Structure 1
Amino acid sequence: MDCRLGCGACCIAPSISSAIPGMENGKAAGLRCVQLNEQNLCKLFGKPERPKVCSDFKPCPDLCATTDQQALANIIELENLT
């Protein structure tokens, strides 16, 4: 599955414990990543400085659903369960 351009749910909902350029201590769940631009696209996509956890995340139909809002809700629920 390909990402829906402009969704950004995976850059907002989960906590990330590894360093992100501009967020050296990672980010808390629900906090928008500083590398997410105004169009909800990752400024680091395809670059070597993109955190491994972000590069390793792969979209899937069950998690990403059919809307950006549902994807956000699903990832928030998964974050809360872990």
Structure 2
Amino acid sequence: MDCRLGCGACCIAPSISSSIPGMENGKPAGVRCIQLNDDNLCKLFGKPERPKVCHAFKACPDVCGKTNQQALDNITELERIT
């Protein structure tokens, strides 16, 4: 599965403990990443400063569902139970 352009759920729902440019202490769950642009696209995509955890995330139907809202709901729930 390819990421749905403009979804951004993986950049909003989960907490990220590693440093992100502009968010040196990472980001809490439910907080929009500062590197997510107005179109919900990552400004660091393809750049070496993109966190490894972000690079490692791979879209899949079980996590991303069929809509952006399902992805946000699923990732929020995964964050809650972990």
Structure 1 length normalisation: TM-score?
0.99
CA RMSD after TM alignment:
0.3
What's the counterpart of residue 6 of structure 1? 6
Equivalence map 1:5-24=2 (5 Å):
5-24=5-24
Corresponding residue for residue 62 of structure 2: 62
Aligned to 1:44: 44
Question: d(CA) in 2 for partners of 1:7 and 1:18?
Answer: 22
Secondary structure of the structure 1 residue equivalent to 2:4: coil
Report the secondary structure of 1:24's partner residue: coil
Q: Percent identity?
A: 79
Q: Which runs of 5+ in 1 are unaligned?
A: none
Which aligned segments of 4 or more residues in structure 1 are displaced greater than 2 angstroms? none
Partners of 1:3 and 1:70 lie apart in 2 by 13
**TM-score normalized by the length of structure 2:** 0.99
Give the Å deviation of 1:31: 0.2
**One-letter amino acid of the structure 2 residue matched with residue 30 of structure 1:** G
How far apart, in 2, do the equivalents of 1:61 and 1:70 lie? 10
Q: Paired residues, what number?
A: 82
Distance 1:6 1:57 in 2: 16
Note the C-alpha offset of 1:40: 0.1
Unaligned runs of at least 5 residues, structure 2: none
Q: Secondary structure at the match of 2:80?
A: helix
